[in-house]
Amino acid sequence: MFRKAHWLFTILCGGSTAAITIIMSLFYLRVSEKSLYDNQFQSFQNDISTITASLEQSTSVSMQWLARIEAQNGYTIYIVDNGAPFLYNSLRGSIDSSGQILLAESLYAYDSIFMIENLDPEGNSYSGIWHTEYEFTSPSTGDTYYASLIDIERNRTLSQIVILSSMASLRVSIVRQRILFVLIDLCAIIALFTFSWFFTGKLLKPLQENHEKQLQFVAAASHELRTPLSVILASNECCQSATDEERIGFSQTIRKEGKRMNHLIDDMLTLAHSGMNRFQIERKAVELDTLCLNAYEAFEPLCEQKSIELSLSLPDAPLARCHCDSDRIAQVLSILLHNALSYTPQDGSIKLSLIYHKERKTYFEITVSDTGIGISDKEKQHIFDRFYRAEKSRSTKGHFGLGLAIAYEIVTGHHGKISVHDNPPNGSIFVVRLPE
């Protein structure tokens, strides 16, 4: 399921970002190509303006001068004398057939014949230079050019100069630019998909872990519920053929296991609510010393039964109040003391203490230390996990491995911290820190 989702998110995330990148680069390419064309045309027009300015100043057109312009700018220049086309090619001496065709095509593109016929309808003699620039594609070769037609009229003679600038080099640089863009886009798409793969993987990881934890939780919960349930069913079956005295024993077992199930279900609901953020914490100003005293009094008789010494240490000075949920914190104390009692052998000792720290940060510290079996470093990493029970405590009935998970949720819900340490030479210390 998660693998499919991973692929789907990668395609979605990578695909959409790649599409945006392609659209943006196409747009940029279009703008850049247009400006390349415009710049080239602009510089061609500038050259022509310079040429016509020089022509205006001189009475005759020097062929050497035109040849120099051709060589400098890579232009092709044709001259048409007094309406007679194709007479002279400045560079080659005589115009070749492909030049003739090109000249005819460029003139036709501009409809220059029309211009010549209408140049002087009144038959007046006047002189002047006119020029115009345009783009044309040769129908015979398919090549594109910027062309300029310069009409020079002096004393009723008309000379026409056609200047052609091939756009082949511009086309080559545009094709190069397009190839470069395709390569850049390809690299960007590969990078985007790789990034999306890792990014969505990171995004899905906590979800996957959570899903796995939920599955483990459900499996462990079913396993834990099955034991008391099968005892209840077996006891109920035995009741059918049991004597009255035996029946009392069986019904006591059924009640005991029922209570166990009830307790387990309460714990699971508490954890389920914490996972769904429906964990209610009702803060009030609470006297933590009173809360510790109550817990001490509740556990004292139980410790006495097991010959365990329970002691309480509270600050002498009056304490500031802690803003917390008194029922929830009492539940934490009960879990820690219950564990200490369960995992401390006879004649051991348990100490509950409360300290108020007023250094840089003010906070309360509750510690429950015991001289019990202790917790190995490996176990310390897991004891706050749901349904975790160390091997040695597995056989203990009434322990589902949920107590510390609940304590953890309550303490972190108060923005506090819970930790476990060794209590040398043996035993453990649980430390709960709560902000004021």
Is residue 144 within a helix (H) or strand (E), and if so which, with residue range? strand 144-154
Q: How far is the CB of 376 from ligand ADP (least distance, A)?
A: 9
Which positions from 269 through 298 interact with ligand ADP, judged by CB under 6 A? none
Q: Which is nearer to ligand ADP, 386 or 414 (CB)?
A: 386
Q: How far is the CB of 359 from ligand ADP (least distance, A)?
A: 28
348 part of the interface to ligand ADP, by CB under 6 A: no
Segment near ligand ADP (CB under 6 A); pick from 146-154, 234-242, 276-284, 383-391: 383-391
Question: Can you give the length of the chain in residues?
Answer: 436
Taking residue 311's Cβ as centre, other Cβ atoms within 10 Å add up to 13
268 part of the interface to ligand ADP, by CB under 6 A: no
Which residues does residue 151 pair with via DSSP β-bridges, in sequence order?
130, 160
225 part of the interface to ligand ADP, by CB under 6 A: no
Query: Most distant CA pair in the chain: distance in Å?
Result: 144
Taking residue 326's Cβ as centre, other Cβ atoms within 10 Å add up to 18
Q: Which is nearer to ligand ADP, 154 or 263 (CB)?
A: 263
203 φ, ψ to 5°? -65, -40
Q: How far is CA 85 from CA 48, 104, 130, in A?
A: 21, 8, 18
354 φ, ψ to 5°? -130, 130
Distance CA 279, CA 272 (A): 9
DSSP codes joined into one string, 282-298: --EEE-HHHHHHHHHHH
Q: How far is the CB of 281 from ligand ADP (least distance, A)?
A: 20
128 φ, ψ to 5°? 170, 170
Please choose, from the candidates 410, 344, 409, 332, the residue with its C-alpha nearest in 3D space to the C-alpha of residue 375.
344
399 part of the interface to ligand ADP, by CB under 6 A: yes
Distance CA 288, CA 432 (A): 12
Please choose, from the candidates 75, 87, 85, the residue with its C-alpha nearest in 3D space to the C-alpha of residue 148.
75
Q: Residues binding ligand ADP: what is the number (CB under 6 A)?
A: 21
375 part of the interface to ligand ADP, by CB under 6 A: yes
Q: Which is nearer to ligand ADP, 14 or 403 (CB)?
A: 403
Q: According to CB under 6 A, which one of 25, 393, 412, 426 is a site residue for ligand ADP?
A: 393
Segment near ligand ADP (CB under 6 A); pick from 69-77, 121-129, 175-183, 382-390: 382-390
Position with the least CB separation from ligand ADP: 403
Q: Which is nearer to ligand ADP, 204 or 312 (CB)?
A: 312
260 part of the interface to ligand ADP, by CB under 6 A: no
Task: Let me know: does 364 contact 333? Beta carbons within 8 Å.
Answer: no
Under DSSP, is residue 340 helix (H, G, I), strand (E, B) or coil? Answer: helix
340 part of the interface to ligand ADP, by CB under 6 A: yes
Segment near ligand ADP (CB under 6 A); pick from 168-176, 234-242, 273-281, 332-340: 332-340
390 part of the interface to ligand ADP, by CB under 6 A: yes
Q: According to CB under 6 A, which one of 403, 410, 423, 432 is a site residue for ligand ADP?
A: 403
Q: Which residues of 380-394 are buried (b: 16+ CB within 10 A; e: fewer)?
A: beebbbbbbbbeeee
Q: What angle do CA 133, 114, 81 make, to 5 degrees?
A: 75
Which residues does residue 337 pair with via DSSP β-bridges, in sequence order?
none
Q: Which is nearer to ligand ADP, 260 or 433 (CB)?
A: 260
Q: How far is the CB of 290 from ligand ADP (least distance, A)?
A: 24
389 part of the interface to ligand ADP, by CB under 6 A: yes
Segment near ligand ADP (CB under 6 A); pick from 104-112, 118-126, 217-225, 369-377: 369-377
267 part of the interface to ligand ADP, by CB under 6 A: no
Q: Which residues bind ligand ADP (CB under 6 A)?
A: 335, 339-340, 343, 370, 372-373, 375, 383, 388-390, 393, 399-405, 428
